Amino acid sequence: MKKCLVIGGGFAGLSASVHLSNAGYQVELIEASPKLGGRAFSFIHKPTNTLIDNGQHIMMGCYKQTLKFLGVINALNKIEIQEKLSVKFISPNFELYVLKATSLFYPFNLLGAILNYSAISLRERLSILRFFLKLPLFAQRDLSKMSVDDLLAQENQNENVKKAFWEIICVGALNTNLKKASAKVFVDILKEIFLKGSFGSKIILPKTNLSETYCLPAKQFVEAKGGKIFLSERAEEIKVEKNRAVEVRTDKRRIAEFDFMVCAVPFYAAQKFLSFSFSNDFNPQYSSILNVHVWLAEAKKENWYGKNFYALIGSKLHWVFNHDSHLTCVISDADYLLNLSDEEIMNMIYSELERYMNITKHDIKDYFMIKEKRATFISSNEILNNRPNSETEVKNLFLAGDWVNTGLPTTIESAVKSGRVAAEAVASN
């Protein structure tokens, strides 16, 4: 049985490990932190004794690779898939709007969702429909030179439509603002969500915490296949001889007994111990995500907006996920907030929650803030055209991670797909 060493225990590393194990390889995975999950993990917030995720993670029906991965590790029962697309939007003064697929057959069910989206005028809704009808006709060559903002301006999408619809989708999907995000990637995402059947548009959320959703099932699957997983072990150097990786030095030992290696860590981490250089044209700029967990006073536990998630129209606070008395507030493309103090950030959060959801500062008994400074790289055309492939100049060393050339933005789906691609590359050598 051939052995593959996997470095990194996030979605990409676990995906590679699961697919390799399933293909009959002996897997040894090392992870620098004391937990699996990478940038999508769970931990105990001690002051409230609450098991929370480091941030709220959304999947969609178009995440085909992720759903297959969860199926292999027998974890599909740990996610909740919408019966049909339904997203609630809130504007200031607590006005609620719903983007919801109708009971008609596809694609009229999704067209109906847009026609019934009353947060904007009928004329504006029709302009969105015209945009969607043109999706298959957009020239890829032209899109590769445009930002999302350029494309929307070209297609006569006004500022109100941008604020109440396009901005929420773009920033949520790409963690990048309209002026920087690649029009090509945005259009590709829209096609996956809206043009390939109703299932692609359905939103998927974990029923439980992330560690129980996929980390633990993946670990159990790999170990049941004879694999080994070592936590709190950091790779520090990879030794290459005659164009093959022959040894890995970690902070604890030297590992030399392997036939193949998959490096599945973030790009900035991979640069520290990979001996070969990447293209000078691949120098990603990162975009941050700010997650603020908020606990409400007991008196507010039963509130009018129910257990759900909401997009806030025109707010600096993009999404609020309600778990009864515990809210997860998500701000994407949050670089401008990182230099502010926690008090300044919370004053903004307090203000937005009061404006949109009638929750005041006095209703909040505790909060916990997580700043993910390098959550994703900016999905610009320049970067996306120069991403490295899984195969490298070192014959037995392969790359995985959401930053590898998967044709997708830096999402869970990209990470999972990269792990499968790396495993298939190993099997073909």
pLDDT in tens, 131-154: 999 999 887 778 988 999 999 999
85 in Cβ contact with 98 (< 8 Å): no
pLDDT in the model for residue 203: 95
- In angstroms, the CA 206 to CA 158 distance is 35
Instruction: Just give the CATH number of 3-40+208-281+380-427.
Output: 3.50.50.60
Alpha-carbon distance values, 167 to 262, 399, 423, 426 (Å): 36, 32, 36, 40
Q: How far apart are CA 85 and CA 270, in angstroms?
A: 38
Is 282's pLDDT higher than 90? no
Percent of the chain with pLDDT over 90: 80
Residue type, 342: D
- Rg of the chain over Cα atoms, rounded to whole angstroms, equals 22
Residue 396 reports pLDDT greater than 50: yes
Chain-centroid distance, C-alpha 223:
26
pLDDT band at 378 (very low <50, low <70, confident <90, very high): confident
pLDDT reported for residue 66: 97
**Mean pLDDT on 323-343:** 92
Query: Which of 155-169, 296-310, 327-341 is predicted with the least confidence, judged by mean pLDDT?
Result: 296-310
DSSP-derived 3-state class of residue 84: coil
Which residue stretches of 23-139 are H helix?
64-72, 108-115, 122-134
Q: How confident is the model at residue 298 (pLDDT cuts 50, 70, 90)?
A: low
User: What six digits make up the tokens of 179?
Assistant: 């002026």
What is the biggest distance separating any 2 CA atoms in the chain, rounded to whole angstroms? 68
Residue ranges per structural domain of the chain = 3-40+208-281+380-427, 102-200, 286-377
User: Could you tell me the fold of the domain covering 102-200?
Assistant: Guanine Nucleotide Dissociation Inhibitor; domain 1 (1.10.405)
Q: What is the DSSP string of 11-53?
A: HHHHHHHHHHHHTT-EEEEE-SSSSS-TTS-EEEETTTTEEEE
Res. 305 pLDDT band, cuts 50 70 90? low
Amino acid identity for residue 38 in this structure: G
Which pLDDT belongs to residue 257? 95
* pLDDT > 50? residue 301: no
| Structure-token match 């057959």, residue found | 105
**Bridge partners, residue 310, by sequence:** 88, 320
Residue 285 DSSP one-character state: P
302 confidence band (pLDDT: 50, 70, 90): very low
Mean pLDDT of 7-27: 98
- pLDDT above 70: residue 156: yes
* Phi, psi (deg, nearest 5) at residue 174: -110, -10
pLDDT at 90 over 70: yes
- The Cα-based distances of 146 to 122, 183, 193 in angstroms read 28, 6, 21
Residue pair 148/260 in contact (Cβ under 8 Å)? The answer is no
Q: Looking at the domain 286-377, which fold is it?
A: Polyamine Oxidase; Chain A, domain 2 (3.90.660)
Give the model's pLDDT for residue 276: 72
Confidence band (pLDDT; 50, 70, 90) for 110?
very high
Q: How many CB atoms lie within 10 A of CB 105?
A: 8
Residues 6+ away with beta carbon under 8 Å from 39: 10, 54, 55, 266, 372, 375
pLDDT bucket at 299, cuts 50 / 70 / 90: very low
Helix runs in 202-245, H state only: 210, 216-224
Q: Residue 379: its pLDDT value, please?
A: 80
In this predicted structure, the answer to whether residue 105 has a pLDDT above a threshold of 80 is yes
Mean of all residue pLDDT scores within the chain: 92
Q: How far apart are the C-alpha atoms of 266 and 400, rounded to whole Å?
A: 9
- pLDDT bin (cut points 50, 70, 90) of residue 306 is low
Nearest to 13 by CA among 263, 375, 257, 245: 263
| DSSP one-letter code for 251 | S
The H or E element spanning position 295 is strand 286-296
